[in-house]
A and B are shown apart, each in its own frame.
Chain A
Amino acid sequence: MPEPLTRRGLLQGSAAAAAAIPVLGDAQAAAPARPQRQKEQAQMSAVGLTVNGREVHLQLDPRTTLLDALREHLHLTGTKKGCDHGQCGACTVIVEGRRINSCLTLAVMHEGDHVTTIEGLGTPEKLHPMQRAFITHDGYQCGYCTPGQICSAVAVLEEIEAGIPSHATEDLDRVAFSEGEVRERMSGNICRCAAYPNIVAAIREVAGHGTAEDKA
């Protein structure tokens, strides 16, 4: 019986095909380019992290971003690479309790740090309340930005709770939940499908300021 056709399977197939092309390309390329490449081989650096409660030790080229360490070395592919330049927020993870763009930080700079990715927030069997709310409110379409949106949203509620002000805060000493606060604080997470109203509704529900019934 043939394997069922899945998107992941298709993507893996095409990734393998794509990977083969540069090999051919290199073989045909002018030979002198190769020694130069080898000379550029970087030192490897050891780094120890705690990712989703699990201690991991890696040997990495110092160029490896935290994002690439998570995806390529630890195979935690829930965290997504969008722009790779800190503009889209798809790579948002929580490090030492704070949300950051994992694409704009080097893994070697995080020795001893605790990292939480979407895989650490919840599982299909035991969803985090924010994951459940995104499903309830249809807070996505294609889903690519969703892990970053959810990691960011979880941290946003903690930031409001901690009294950290934002650009939308009228009185810097009185930080309170509002839709305006959510929209401002989530502006570093871009959704190409523009699921924004539903994302705000999901965050509202988890914050205890509205439920699915309210919306209906």
Chain B
Amino acid sequence: MRPFTYSRAASVEDAARTAASTQGARFIAGGTNLLDLMKLQIETPTHLIDVNHLGLDRIEPTAEGGLRIGALVRNTDLAADKAVRRDYAVLSRALLAGASGQLRNKATTGGNLLQRTRCPYFYDTRMPCNKRKPGSGCGALKGMSRSLAILGTSDACIAQHPSDMAVALRLLDAQVDTVGADGGRRSIPIADFHLLPGETPHIENALKPGELITSVTLPKPLGGTHVYRKVRDRTSYAFALVSVAAVFEKDGRARFAFGGIGAKPWRTDAADAAAPSGAAAVAEAALSGARPTAHNAFKQQLTARTLASLYRQKGA
């Protein structure tokens, strides 16, 4: 790791102000992704602002009948929360499908939203990567791309978004609540939070310099049957090749969000609209515009088969 200084924020406003006014500053919460990347010198902050003691670890109902999840709520606690298990089971399931018990005990809600891609070319500092080093090129385009994205990619980057939790939050239409460097608060719809790579794959989300995630707000419960199906190389503790989050209604309507295949958590209106027509129609709509490589073209069929499996499970 490169040397850095360390401080504890006194308040969320103090954290945001310090982050915006200190060159090279980063927030640290669970640290499970940031410290990993710092050891590889992919991340090289010169100052860390610890946001673990700001009281952002509560889950509480909102006036609108939804749920406000503090940004520092650990993945374990969010998955185990009674209201989440009852009303947003797809979120519990997505969280439990990710990482290991040890990592979920540390990883936070806000940090999970900000976790970075597991593209092998992003991790290998000897290789070109436009996300790690803007303008250096993309080693993955003509490289080993089996795990990488087929949707939302660009000629500059085909990295996949790694999060399971964010796929469920995308399905549930969550809002990301923040405080800015000027103390101002705003809520960003999850659909607008993660950015597609385009020409600037190093810019991954809508946060402004110093802006701190304080909570994630869920709208009131959808009802229906919640499922999260993750397909991976091992049965546990591996990133998704394909994952599907879904809520099925009794009348045949449904909504879907996808992980492992997109440059960001993937959801389309067309896929939701195709729900009554069955799994094949949903897959076709969801995969519209896919740009697979020779290595990851299999993800299209895997997505269709995963959807077919979910439809069978729902009917059972």
Residues of A within 8 A of B (CB): 40-43, 45, 61-63, 65, 84-86, 89, 92, 98-101, 104-106, 108-109, 152, 155-156, 159, 163-167, 169, 172-173, 183-189
Contact = CB atoms under 8 A, between A and B. Distances in A.
B103 to A, nearest CB: 6
Given A172-B85, A183-B236, A108 B6 contact: yes
B85 A173 contact: yes
Contacts of B6: 43, 45, 62, 106, 108
Interface stretch (B18-26, B28-36, B61-69, B188-196): B28-36
B237 A188 contact: yes
B147 to A, nearest CB: 16
A184 B76 CA distance: 14
Given A62-B48, A101-B103, A172-B89, A167 B236 contact: yes
Contact of B102 (A62, A100, A108, A183): A100
Contacts of B103: 86, 101, 104, 188
B1 A63 contact: yes
Contacts of B52: 109
Contacts of A65: 35
B125 interface: no
B92 A172 contact: yes
Contacts of A183: 236
Given A62-B48, A98-B76, A172-B93, 16 more contacts: A62-B4, A63-B1, A84-B39, A99-B101, A100-B102, A101-B103, A104-B32, A105-B106, A106-B6, A152-B102, A159-B101, A166-B96, A167-B93, A169-B96, A173-B85, A184-B236
Contacts of B93: 167, 172
Contact of B31 (A63, A104, A189): A104
Given A62-B4, A62-B5, A166 B101 contact: yes
Contact of B76 (A40, A43, A84, A164): A164
B97 interface: yes
Contacts of B315: none
Contacts of B101: 99, 152, 155-156, 159, 166, 185-188
A99 B76 CA distance: 11
Contacts of B85: 165, 172-173
Nearest to A103: B35
Interface residues of B, number: 35
A63 B85 CA distance: 37
Contacts of A63: 1, 3-4
B5 to A, nearest CB: 6
B2 interface: yes
A106 B79 CA distance: 25
Nearest to A105: B31
Which 4 residue pairs of A and B lie closest in terms of their CB atoms, listed nearest first? A188-B100, A187-B236, A42-B3, A62-B6
Nearest to B48: A62
A163 B93 CA distance: 15
29 contacts: A41-B3, A42-B4, A43-B5, A62-B4, A86-B32, A86-B36, A99-B101, A99-B102, A101-B32, A101-B103, A105-B31, A105-B35, A109-B52, A152-B101, A155-B101, A159-B101, A164-B76, A164-B79, A164-B80, A165-B80, A165-B85, A166-B101, A169-B96, A172-B92, A187-B100, A187-B101, A187-B237, A188-B100, A188-B103
A85 B39 contact: yes
Contacts of A155: 101
Given A89-B102, A165-B79, A165-B85, A109 B5 contact: no
A89 B100 contact: yes
A109 B105 CA distance: 15
A42 B5 CA distance: 7
Contacts of B234: 187
Nearest to A61: B3
Nearest to B76: A164
B43 interface: no
Contacts of A86: 32, 36, 102-103
A108 B50 CA distance: 10
Contacts of B48: 62, 106
B96 A165 contact: yes
Given A104-B32, A105-B31, A188-B100, A165 B3 contact: no
Nearest to A63: B1
B115 to A, nearest CB: 12
B253 to A, nearest CB: 24
A98 B85 CA distance: 21
A109 B102 contact: no
B96 A92 contact: no
A101 B93 CA distance: 22
B92 A165 contact: yes
Nearest to B85: A172
